[in-house]
Structure 1
Amino acid sequence: MQTASHKPVVLVTAADLAPQALDMLTQFDVVFAGKQPTEDDIVALCAEHKPVAIIVRYGKVNARIMDAAENLQVISKHGSGIDVIDQAAAAARGIAVRAAVGANAAAVAEHAWALILACAKSVPQLDARMRQGHWDKSTHKSVELDGRTLGLVGLGAIGRRVAAIGAAFGMNVLAFDPYAKETPAGVKLVSLDELYAASDVVSLHCPLTAENRQMLNRDTLARFKRGAILVNTARGGLIDEAALAEALAGGQLRFAGLDSFDVEPMTHPHPFQQIPNAILSPHIGGVSDAAYVNMGKGAAANVLAVVEEHARNAA
């Protein structure tokens, strides 16, 4: 049943949206699904409100959800990663899928560097040791990044920012990106195998696809330079987590900084929780004060563009 105002509905799979984004959506009734809505929650809300648009913040949108929303015109991601949307199902139903591309690029790049530096300088471990009364000045050596090699898998809006910061740190920057039409100054495009073998730090900045799922596995991790650092602020499905746990325990990797996981929220207990050279954060790389506003505005703009296009075509 439609809401009392009879405005078309936009369903947000979260409990909130930036006020600046809500200001753009005044021609709609905006319905919030709550903090961590289940698939059943979203299906029920779609059946009740018949939204013309879904803004995806948390959870996935599959064919069952689309079929419950008979008026659905667009699924708009609050961010850049649309792997949580069944794109084939959307295409089959004539539903547009859009992403707020670049809206959180600065936030994710900064978080990637927070993890790189935390790994290279053992920041959480030294902090914990200090709180336990230890003074490890005579025994600890951190990794100096100046002159080392940074390897980036993906050279989009985020990867390019990470590259620029790496260059500012005095690092040699390599990248693998089959879609890159040009490269920033100082960045050398190489094959994946070259990147793995040469890099002291490998940072992932590519979307998750059927082709690259678990691209980092026992075989590929064995090709890394021994003692390298791996950082993932992209998608957890890019990594075989059991293989990564082995590589960390066996010293093939010095550290891993992980902001995304194969199953989210990360299962508890999880092997990574017992690995001291893994630094973990709960997929918050893109969640900053500015990115929250930018992603909301980008998602809202994509809703407006598709709905207005539908209206023009129907006129």
Structure 2
Amino acid sequence: MSASVLIAGPESIVRLLNDIAQSVTEAGFGTTVTHQPIVSLSPQLLAGVQALICVVSPVGRAELDALPNVRAVISPITGYDWIDLEVARAKDVLVANGEASENFESMAEATIMLMLTSLYDLHGAERQLRDLQPRPKGPMSARMVRGKTIGIIGYGNISRAIIRRLAGWDAQIVVTTRTPPETVDGLRFVELDQLLETSDVVIVMTSLAPETRGFLGAERLRRLKPGCVFINTARGGLVDEEELYRQVAAGRIAKAALDVFDEEPLGADSPLRQLPNTILTDHIVGHTREMYDAIPRIAAANVAAALGGAPPERTRNRDVIERWRAKWDAAPGEDGASRASGI
């Protein structure tokens, strides 16, 4: 009998979950797709699960207690903040994600698009034509990238892809990160407050964790350079949305481009929806066809690695690998052979 893989996620992404299931099945594994909470499934089904692929569905102590034979919990996309890494670590379960070049390259392109659309007031120019307004005669609202200071919070793959694309645009790029490298040509690494106070464009591009939730609170948002463009394509929980609203409504932030929110989807009554100087998208702005096509392929590769006895390349808690190997090498499979010796 093939190894069992449980695939869990909301019904709103059923097509993606089914595409993942097809890819995993083609790789030789049995699959079950569910939109229900994991702990609500039958104990018999859960006892047979050796790999869990999940999108948004929370995975903490209760879920892992209910999955006694699971070796790996896999997010098929880049984000994995719904998986409790500490609990997985304590149980010697690997956590892997679906990071792919198509993902961070798409997000980099989309983030730059939001920056240009904001600086050049594309929507304002479009409204002027559609609403039959006269051509503006006063100072133009569009602004160039050239000569601006672009501040990026975080220095992961997406940030690096943005920086590569902006090379040659004659803009100064500053970055804040917890562990800056010693030197990188063309970059300056600065403290967060300095970045906020001096950047014409601020791009939030860091991960959400318990220690970073709300780290761009009211006090820090008030440090933003007046007239700046604020872009968040990372996670909504990083930012105090009430203070962000106040700053944008007052015009102190000239434009805000937001693809992510503290609660998603964004509520119909959110005051952010009423602001004319915002671009709001539903956590989808960088989701390209190429990125979508990579998700099932990488999910299947992560499953094949974990159930074949090798930690997936995209493992996020690598400190448990040796304990994980020892645990699963010693565990007998249905035929009495090593569980980690193959499928």
Contact 1:217 1:239 in 2 (8 A): yes
Indicate if the aligned counterparts of 2:24 and 2:31 stay in contact, CA closer than 8 A.
no
SS in 1 for 2:144: coil
1:72 equivalent in structure 2:
70
Q: Does 1:11 align with 2:20?
A: no
1:99 counterpart letter in structure 2: N
Instruction: From the superposition, tell whether residues 313 and 153 of structure 1 become closer, same or farther in structure 2 (CA, over 3 Å).
Output: farther
Kindly, what percent of the aligned residue pairs are identical?
Answer: 29
Structure-1 residue corresponding to 2:104: 105
**Residue 180 to residue 255, structure 1, CA distance change in 2 (3 Å):** same
Q: Is the 8 A contact 1:10 1:31 kept in 2?
A: yes
TM alignment of 1:1-315, pairs within 5 A: 7-13=3-9, 14-15=13-14, 16-17=16-17, 22-23=22-23, 25=25, 26-33=27-34, 37=35, 40-45=36-41, 47=43, 49-50=45-46, 51-103=49-101, 104-139=103-138, 140-181=140-181, 184-309=184-309, 312-314=329-331, 315=338
Question: Please, what is the CA RMSD of the aligned residues?
Answer: 2.4
Deviation at 1:188, TM superposition (A): 1.0
Aligned length, in residue pairs: 306
Given that 1:18 and 1:296 are in contact with CA atoms closer than 8 Å, whether structure 2 keeps it comes out as no
Shift of 1:125: 3.2
TM-superposed CA distance for 1:6, in Å, is 6.0
Offset of residue 48 of structure 1 = 6.1
Q: Which amino acid letter does the alignment assign opposite residue 33 of structure 2?
A: F
Match of 2:335 in 1: none
So what's the TM-score if we normalise by structure 2?
Answer: 0.81
User: 2:5 is aligned with what amino acid?
Assistant: V
- SS of the equivalent of 1:144 reads coil
Letter in 2 for 1:76: I
- 2:23, 2:296 within 8 Å by CA — same for their partners in 1? no
**Residue 247 of structure 1: how far off its partner (Å):** 0.7
- For structure 1, which segment, 195-204 or 162-171, has the greater mean C-alpha deviation from structure 2 after superposition? 162-171
Q: Deviations over 1:23-64 (max 9, x none)?
A: 45432122233xxx4xx4443347463232222234433333
**2:198 and 2:287 mapped to 1: Cα distance?**
31
CA–CA separation in structure 1 for the residues paired with 2:42 and 2:207: 28
How far has the Cα of 1:7 moved from its partner? Answer: 4.3
Q: TM-score, normalised by structure 1?
A: 0.87
Distance change (3 Å), C-alpha of 1:286 and 1:67: farther
Mapped to 2, the partners of 1:168 and 1:56 lie a distance apart of: 40
SS at 1:195 equivalent: helix
Is the alpha carbon distance of 1:54 and 1:186 closer, same or farther for their aligned partners in structure 2, counting shifts above 3 Å? same
- Partner SS state of residue 168, structure 1: coil
1:61-101 deviation line (CA, Å, top 9, x unaligned): 33333333333221111222221212222223332111223
Q: Which moved further from structure 2: 184-193 or 272-281?
A: 184-193
Whole-Å Cα distance in 2 between the matches of residues 108 and 183 of structure 1?
25
For the residues of structure 2 that align with 1:98 and 1:193, how far apart are their CA atoms?
33
For 1:261 and 1:70, the matched residues in 2 are separated by: 34
For structure 1, the 5+ residue unaligned runs are: none
User: Offset at 1:250?
Assistant: 1.4
